[in-house]
Amino acid sequence: MNDNVVKSFLNDRENIIPGTIPYILSTLINRGGKWYCIVEGKTDKYFYSNINKVDLKTRTYYLFGKNNSIENGGKETVISSYNKIKHLPNLNKYMNKFIFIIDHDYAGLTSEKQYIDYESYNCFTITKPYSFENYFLTEDNIKILFDYLGIKNSVYDFIEQYNQFADEIKEYTRLKSSTIEINQRQSRYYEPFCQPYRKIHSYDEIFSFSFENGRYKFNKNFLNDEVNNMRRFISRNPSAKSFYNNESEDLVKNNDFVRGHNAFDFLSKYLLDVHGITLIQGDNNQYMDIVKRLNVDIDLKNAQGLLIS
C-alpha cells in the first residue's frame, strides 16, 4: 500500500468528527440497543429490518450516510466507519453489538478509497449476490412474490424474460466489472495506466425499461455503445484485460451479478406495465410485508466475525 495512503489512513483513525457515524454511535451506545446496524442507505434499513432470518428490528438502531449522518453513504462510508470504530476505545469494546452490512457489488470489500486489512474481512456481512435487491429475483422468491401479488400464473413468463435479459447483458457485465475493478486497483495501488475509464451512457440511460405487448425493451443502442467503449478501454489497459480474461467470467455464471438496481427496476417495471401493480422500495407496508416472506441467503455476522441468529 502507498506510504502516503497509510499515513492518511492512520491519521484519520484518531479523529471522531461530530455528525459522523462513529460520533452518532457514541451517543447511542448507552440506550439499550441490542444491535447497531451500519448500512449503505435508507432502503437497506427497510430491507434488513424486515428479513425473517434474524430480528433486526426490535431494539435495533440503523445508521447510514446522507440521512442521519453528514457522510455520503454507500459502501465507502460503511467501511470507513468500521476502520475508525475499530480504533476508538470507547466504541470497539461493543463490536459484538455492531453489524456492518454492505452489498457485494462486483468485488466484495474492494474499495477505491478505503483499505481493509485481511484480518477484518470476516467482520462484515456481505450480500451473496450483487446487492440486496437481487434477493427479490431468485426463482424461489419470484414465486413467493407473484403468489403474494396474485399473479402466480405469470411466474414463468417473467423468469424466462429476466433470464433472457441477463443473458443479453453478459458481455456488458463482464466488461463493466473489469473497468470498475481496475479503476479501484489503480486508485489503491497506483498501478500504471493510460486513462481511467469514462462511461458514455449512464446505467439509467441504458436500462430504461418498458414492456410493450408484454415483452421487455431497453436502449440496446446505448448498451452497444457502452460495450464498445469499454472494449476500447480494456484493449489499452493490461490490468483490465487480465481481469476480464481471468476473473470476470465467474460473474456471469448465473444471474446473481446483474446490477441490483437494474434487476429491481426490471421487476418493478414488469409488474407496472404488464399487471398494473406498483412495487416501491422503502417505508411502505406492502414492501416490508413482502420482504418478511423472502428467503434471504446471507451470513449475518457481528463486527467480531461471529454469526448471529
Reduce the secondary structure of 22-78 to three states and give it as a string. Answer: HHHHHHHCCCCCCEEEECCCHHHHHHHCCCCCCCCCCCEEEECCCCCCCCCCCHHHH
pLDDT tens per residue, range 3-55:
443 344 334 444 577 888 888 888 898 888 999 999 999 999 999 999 998 99
Which has the higher per-residue pLDDT, 184 or 64? 64
Q: What is the crossing angle of helices 155-168 and 170-189, to 10°?
A: 50
Which has the higher per-residue pLDDT, 70 or 122? 122
pLDDT band of residue 183 (cuts 50, 70, 90) is: low
CA dihedral over 34, 40, 46, 51, signed as positive or negative: negative
Which residues touch 173 (CB under 8 Å, ≥6 apart)? 248, 251, 252, 257, 258, 259
Residue 146 has pLDDT above 90, yes or no: yes
Check: CB of residue 129 under 8 Å from CB of residue 135: yes
pLDDT band of residue 198 (cuts 50, 70, 90) is: confident
What gap in Å lies between CA 10 and CA 22, rounded to an integer? 16
Nearest residue to 281 (alpha-carbon basis) of 41, 36, 37: 41
The alpha helices in 215-305, defined as continuous H runs, are 220-235, 238-246, 260-275, 285-293
For residue 215, count other CB atoms closer than 10 A to its CB: 11
pLDDT tens per residue, range 213-231:
999 999 999 999 999 999 9
pLDDT in the model for residue 167: 97
Residue 182 has pLDDT above 90, yes or no: no
CA angle 240, 116, 66 (to 5 degrees): 90
Reported pTM = 0.89
Which has the higher per-residue pLDDT, 196 or 124? 124
Nearest residue to 65 (alpha-carbon basis) of 110, 24, 103: 24
Which residues touch 42 (CB under 8 Å, ≥6 apart)? 64, 66, 67, 282
